[in-house]
Amino acid sequence: MALKFEGISKSTSAATTIYDALRKAIIEGELEVGEPLRQDEMAKLFNTSRIPVREALSRLEEHGLVKTRRYKGAVVCGLSADEATGIFDFRALIEPEVMRRAVPKMSRELLQQARGYCEAFSQSTEPLHWGDLNRDFHSTLYGVSGLAYHLEVVDNAMDRVDRYLRAQLVLSNGIDRANIEHFGIMEACEKGDADLAAKRTFDHIEGAKNSLLHGIST
Amino acid sequence: MALKFEGISKSTSAATTIYDALRKAIIEGELEVGEPLRQDEMAKLFNTSRIPVREALSRLEEHGLVKTRRYKGAVVCGLSADEATGIFDFRALIEPEVMRRAVPKMSRELLQQARGYCEAFSQSTEPLHWGDLNRDFHSTLYGVSGLAYHLEVVDNAMDRVDRYLRAQLVLSNGIDRANIEHFGIMEACEKGDADLAAKRTFDHIEGAKNSLLHGIST
DNA sequence: GTAATGTATTTTGGATCCAATTTTCAAGCT
DNA sequence: AGCTTGAAAATTGGATCCAAAATACATTAC
């Protein structure tokens, strides 16, 4: 476990701070799948007692990021190929609909902001930033849909597959495919074509799924 | 707060026992929306310390059943009309697809079991059993879809709206509509018509949504 | 040498205690 | 009366301590 941390803020609870940090570390793949998260170790790392650590682990488990067994502790959750497929199928069902409902509400400013993330993503060479920029891009567009619950659930689904997605982007030319698709989605949004944007969102997710499963893109 | 409880099992953790009991109480409407859940009170009720109570509350919050504010404690979550609509729209997106994928895998035994729940639901006069029977019915059919993640998420969505659904069933003739629709879904499943089952599932959820929002059914 | 067994260490789950914050409510002031 | 104010009570967040279970490891029997 090679996790660093300096100082906890006073304005937010220790449990939340720990939860956020561990969530980020898991999503970014900093913690390996199957790696045990010892309460003592975390407590020392965050300069707290084990109590807020346990609350954080409990929350992480509800989000499917760790798996806990009684008296055995928590380990970072992995996904089987089937499970990953299931989550992508799920996203392919939800996100196009969110996009369809969002397009009519997109202001000029919002589109500019999204295009900014899109271009930043295409120009970034740092894999660790890809995840954030990718999510900023999609979340910005989805956000105006007004479908709060859909967004909450999509966020959760993204949390579970982000690691695998980044790994895939790094290994193959998936990053090129992602960029082409992102600009395609942007274009449809800017044209105000909700159905096209939805279709391209669907294809984008299916593409990611297949590239992940076959280990090859395009 | 009129909550009763006798003895916790030793085989499962106290936190889990408390979580399950509170979840059930909230879903069944035994605890009113906005009602504060005091840690001390819960601890005494379950004969434990506040530690497992806090873990249970933390988990409930991740599931959207309670809302916590720092140093203020947890209260039972309610839903605005918009939020409820959003959750039904979400279900109307997921569940028909789950049903479509489940129909081809339904065995004769499974169909019989589902029909059993369906008939029990139609004959039960006890509102408190409606929720369980309704979910047994749907979960039995959905279960064979193999879409584990979809099911997990649907379960969560059901948790959030079950209370309102039951209230609606009690107040109007929604129970009749629900029965008609259930048997319609059963029929489609027994015929092996996946598309029809999916469409009827969609209509079932839309019907529930509208009956809930307008306060009147058909 | 290997497998079984019993003990020590580690680790988690829970209880009790303390600190920080909010809420309550009574006293005082205008 | 109505509004501040400030101390006491109530409540949550976190630390420390103890019990229960699992794991590691040494010892013994074969």
Mark yes or no for CB contact A55/B51 under 8 Å.
no
Closest CA to A60 of A25, A85, A90, A91: A25
A149 touches strand C (CB under 7 A): no
Mark yes or no for CB contact B149/A87 under 8 Å.
yes
Mark yes or no for CB contact B94/A89 under 8 Å.
no
Question: Any chain B CB within 8 A of the CB of A81?
Answer: no
Task: Report helix, strand or coil for B169.
Answer: helix
Question: Any chain A CB within 8 A of the CB of B55?
Answer: yes
The complex's ipTM works out to 0.88
| DSSP result, A86-139 | HHHHHHHHHHHHHHHHHGGG--HHHHHHHHHHHHHHHH---HHHHHHHHHHHHH
- Higher pLDDT among residues A176 and B44, named by residue: B44
Tell me the fold of B81-214: Four Helix Bundle (Hemerythrin (Met), subunit A) (1.20.120)
Answer whether B95's CB lies under 8 Å from B154's CB.
yes
State how far residue B34 is from chain A, nearest Cα, in angstroms: 20
pLDDT at position A10 is 65
Type of residue at A15: A
Question: Any chain B CB within 8 A of the CB of A51?
Answer: yes
How many angstroms separate the Cα of A209 from the Cα of each of A27, A88, A152, B4, B59?
A: 17, 6, 21, 48, 30
Closest CA to B187 of B200, B174, B202: B200
According to CATH, where is 1.10.10.10 located in chain A?
14-76
Condensed to tens digits (0 to 9), the pLDDT of residues B52-93 reads 999 999 999 999 999 999 999 999 999 999 999 999 999 999
Question: Any chain B CB within 8 A of the CB of A42?
Answer: no
- In this complex, the residue of B58, B86, B97 whose CB is nearest that of residue A147 is B86
Q: Any idea what DSSP says for residue A144?
A: T
Q: What CATH architecture applies to the domain A14-76?
A: Orthogonal Bundle (1.10)
Condensed to tens digits (0 to 9), the pLDDT of residues A35-93 reads 999 999 999 999 999 999 999 999 999 999 999 999 999 999 999 999 999 999 999 99
According to CATH, where is 1.20.120.530 located in chain A?
81-214
Through-space separation of residue A207 CA and nucleotide D17 C1' in angstroms: 54
